[in-house]
Amino acid sequence: MAKVPIGIELVRRGVVSESDINKAIEYQRSQPTKKIGDILHILGLCDDEILIKEIGDILGETPILLKPEDITINVTDYISSDVIRQNKAIPFDISGGKIKVCFADTVNKRAMETVRLLLLNKGLIMERYITFESNIERIIESLQGKAKDKIIASKDITEFVDSVIKTAFTKRASDIHIEPLENQVRVRYRVDGELITVTNAEKEKQAQIIGRLKAISNMHQEKQEAQDGRIESYPDYNIRVSSQKNIYGEKFVLRLLKKNSDIRHIFELGFPGDENILNKGFNKRNSITIVAAPTGEGKTTTLYSIIDYLNRPEINITTIEDPVEIRIPGLNQIEIDPKTSFSGALRTVLRQDPDIILVGEIRDNETAEISMQAGQTGHYVLSTIHTIDSIEVVTRLRKMGVSNYDIASTLATTVSQRLVRKLCKKCAREREFNDKERAVIRAMEEKYHVSLNLEGKKTYDPVGCKDCDYTGYYDRIGIFEILMLSETIKELITKNASSLEIREQALREGYEPLVIDGMRKVIDGITNLEEVNKKLSIY
């Protein structure tokens, strides 16, 4: 039926006469792009309701006489005005993950597929309808007339969101926070670990900002519960996106991960000591090394640096990560997905003949047990765990259900760290240590029986300049503590000694806690006492 010219079929059905069709054909000579059905509508040769119903029936489509008042959504939140005009398509209603879209030409499969895929990327299933082309054109004009400012604002929102993201790159931000407040939308960057407010947007733009973020993150537009997405439209960055509803709307956090960024040598990160420390503390077969710190303190970066240091062609290194943040040539890197767990991936990796295994994080008993088993069967395992310092790694593993025997026989080295901001070299102002600062440093010397060589040294105040964006700080550096488990400490663990007893023995053996490395970096003028205190609460 669809192959029969639509005019002939309308005559057969008694909807119009042959005379009406001849008038339409005459009109078409001056308007060759117009279809017969649309011309009959323009010329008023038939009742519109009957005409569109019969055209829909002939084409096998759902007909509608779409009017501006039928549109219950802001159409440009779903497809751009350019797509609307090019494909003569109007989204007009949404419900339960399905969006109704009206087309002027359902024979144009390319137009329908273009719109369908755009909406599918936003998690929406398209239900298509058909109306007259002139109807679509009038509605576009109506939308532009009534909401011209809104469409312009929509373009502005696209530029606004793009500018927020690109500016974050130049500011060296690790995260972008876009937060609905009571009367505005706040945008903050996390730069060198600190949140800085960079701009605010009007509250009226909140819905458009959220819509844009969801669109480019491949999130469901209608869902307001927590979602995770990714932005992949910036070639040099992987951007992980998280949304969470609060009392004023949906907050978004964008984590910026630079692709193919260079791995810094571990000593550039601030790791104390020399290569003897690395060779002694790492790469022990039949063992496990754990890096411990709270979230956001650079554990993964340290692991990458250790792996990069150990990486050689004759060694098979496999990593299990969530996600893979940096791709390293020569490594077998596995990314955790919703169908894969660390423990499941680790079981498979053990059958791949690895020498060194990096497990992104030990989160549960199963992963801890398999990691320990891997360390006991000829492999060297590197992982991270969430604890306050290197001594408490033992306590954390115990709480996960790992036996004292397994901990003592397998755990070789634990490292704990914090990140502190480095003073900007361009503007830092030199001065003498004041009495309070000297007292704090000397108290640490006495408490831990170390000499920090304070005499003749000076400290620096942050000033602020163009290079550091007037913060006084540029980049961050790690402060570290390293615990190498001696036979005596292993024996204490086997006997279920407390963390206090283990700490006392470690101090007798030369273990230096985080605060000591922090003090040394203050005395060397790399950071200041305020930054170390912010992370370790020493006064």
Report pLDDT digits (tens) over 271-288. Answer: 998 888 888 888 678 899
Say which residue, 43 or 470, is predicted with more confidence: 43
19-54 residue pLDDT tens: 889 888 888 887 787 888 888 888 888 888 899 999
Domain parsing of the chain, residue ranges:
149-258, 275-536
pLDDT over 50 at 192, yes or no: yes
pLDDT over 60 at 144, yes or no: no
Cα–Cα distance, 199 to 49 (Å, whole number)? 51
| Domain with residues 149-258, CATH architecture | 2-Layer Sandwich (3.30)
pLDDT over 90 at 142, yes or no: no
Cα–Cα distance, 94 to 101 (Å, whole number)? 9
Q: What is the pLDDT of residue 278?
A: 87
- Count of positions (residues) in the chain: 539
Q: What is the pLDDT of residue 283?
A: 67
384-411 residue pLDDT tens: 999 999 999 999 999 999 999 999 999 9
Which H or E run contains 398?
Answer: helix 392-399
Task: Calculate what percentage of the chain has a pLDDT beyond 70.
Answer: 96
Q: What is the pLDDT of residue 305?
A: 92
Which positions ≥6 away from 176 have C-beta within 8 Å?
A: 164, 165, 168, 187, 188, 189, 190, 252, 253, 254, 256
Q: What is the pLDDT of residue 274?
A: 86
The pairing of strands 125-130 and 227-231 is unpaired
Ranking 208-212, 337-341, 509-513 by mean pLDDT, the lowest is: 337-341
pLDDT over 70 at 482, yes or no: yes
**Across 288-310, average pLDDT:** 92
**Across 98-124, average pLDDT:** 88
User: With contact defined as beta carbons under 8 Å apart, do 38 and 62 qualify?
Assistant: no
Name the pLDDT band for 2 (thresholds 50, 70, 90). Answer: very low
Average pLDDT score over the chain: 89
* Two domains, one topology: 149-258 and 275-536: no
59-91 residue pLDDT tens: 889 999 988 778 888 787 788 766 787 788 999
Ranking 26-30, 444-448, 500-504 by mean pLDDT, the lowest is: 26-30
pLDDT over 60 at 148, yes or no: no
**Across 368-379, average pLDDT:** 93
Cα–Cα distance, 183 to 529 (Å, whole number)? 38
Per-residue tokens: 22: 């001849």
At 182, the amino acid letter reads: E
Burial 144-154, CB ≥16 within 10 A → b, else e: eeeeeebbebb
Name the pLDDT band for 200 (thresholds 50, 70, 90). Answer: confident
Q: What is the pLDDT of residue 151?
A: 33
**Across 454-458, average pLDDT:** 91
Which positions ≥6 away from 512 have C-beta within 8 Å?
A: 448, 450, 481
171-187 residue pLDDT tens: 999 999 999 999 999 99
At 44, the amino acid letter reads: G
Q: What is the pLDDT of residue 325?
A: 77
Q: Domain 275-536 classified CATH 3.30.70.640?
A: no
CA of residue 516 relative to chain centroid, distance: 34
User: With contact defined as beta carbons under 8 Å apart, do 176 and 160 qualify?
Assistant: no
Which positions ≥6 away from 447 have C-beta within 8 Å?
A: none
Cα–Cα distance, 441 to 453 (Å, whole number)? 10
Name the pLDDT band for 246 (thresholds 50, 70, 90). Answer: very high
Per-residue tokens: 512: 């230096």
Q: What is the pLDDT of residue 155?
A: 55
Say which residue, 253 or 156, is predicted with more confidence: 253
Q: What is the pLDDT of residue 28?
A: 85
Q: What is the pLDDT of residue 1?
A: 40
Q: What is the pLDDT of residue 82?
A: 67
Name the pLDDT band for 481 (thresholds 50, 70, 90). Answer: very high
Nearest Cα neighbor of 134 from 196, 61, 190, 52 is 52
Name the pLDDT band for 303 (thresholds 50, 70, 90). Answer: very high
Cα–Cα distance, 395 to 391 (Å, whole number)? 8
pLDDT over 70 at 438, yes or no: yes
Q: What is the pLDDT of residue 153?
A: 41
